[in-house]
Amino acid sequence: MTDVKGVSTGTTTVGIVCRDGIVLAAERKATMGYLVAAKKDLKIVEIMPHIAMTQAGMVGDVQALTRYLIAESKLYELRTRRRIPVKAAASLLANILYGGRWSYLPYQIQIILAGYDETGPNLFILHPDGSSLEEKEYFSTGSGSPIAFGVLETLFKDGLSIDECKKIAARAVRAAVERDIASGGRGIDIAIINKDGFRLLKEADVEKILESIKK
């Protein structure tokens, strides 16, 4: 959470690198101080057909950064006649964040940017200071991340499939929702990115995953 007035996401988001792609997951609560501003805030955003990012922090900041990154990624494709690599998109976003760190009010965010390109699955963590760190296994952002990390560190292992990672991501976010007062909302969103591109799972499919991990 932040002391700056505005709509923010206390948030739990999760990103997992699988052998055949990336899984992203997030809960849906957005807050304004002690007020729940939204119960169905989508915190997984498609940037390009092969790239997506999660949001934690000030909603307005994330929305502005999303617009910048989408526009610049499309310009990259027009100029080079090829889709932007995930690492290049992360570097571009890091430069935008670094440029804002010297302003009166830097971007109040923490972002997972992930995608699938010729090099395979890629996952980067970006912070308000403009740093961009590549993660080879998993990461979580937001106020519920310490709880999510406990689940991820217990269940993750190398070589997991997307289907296996979807269940782990759901467990991690659900655990955070149960213990972190700033995480919650109506349901959980899960998305996958693989060689076929980005896909946000339907609510019915997410419900089946949540039911399966109760057993």
| Residue-wise pLDDT tens digits, 49-101 | 999 999 888 888 889 999 999 999 999 999 999 999 999 999 999 999 998 77
Q: List the domain boundaries for the chain.
A: 8-207
CA angle in degrees (0–180, nearest 5) for 128-134-139: 75
Residue 6 burial class via C-beta count within 10 angstroms: exposed 0-12, middle 13-18, buried 19 and up: middle
Measure the CA–CA gap between 128 and 107, rounded to whole angstroms: 6
Catalytic residues, which ones?
11
Structure tokens at 139: 């990461």
The predicted pLDDT at position 3 comes to 44
Q: What is the pLDDT of residue 191?
A: 97
> CA Rg, the chain, in Å?
16
pTM: 0.90
In CATH terms, is domain 8-207 a member of 3.50.50.60?
no
pLDDT, one tens digit per residue, over 144-195 is 899 999 999 999 999 999 999 999 999 999 999 888 776 766 789 999 999 9
The answer to whether 107 touches 97, Cβ cutoff 8 Å, is yes
Q: How confident is the model at residue 8 (pLDDT cuts 50, 70, 90)?
A: low
pLDDT of residue 185: 66
pLDDT tens readout for residues 19-40: 999 999 999 877 776 677 677 7
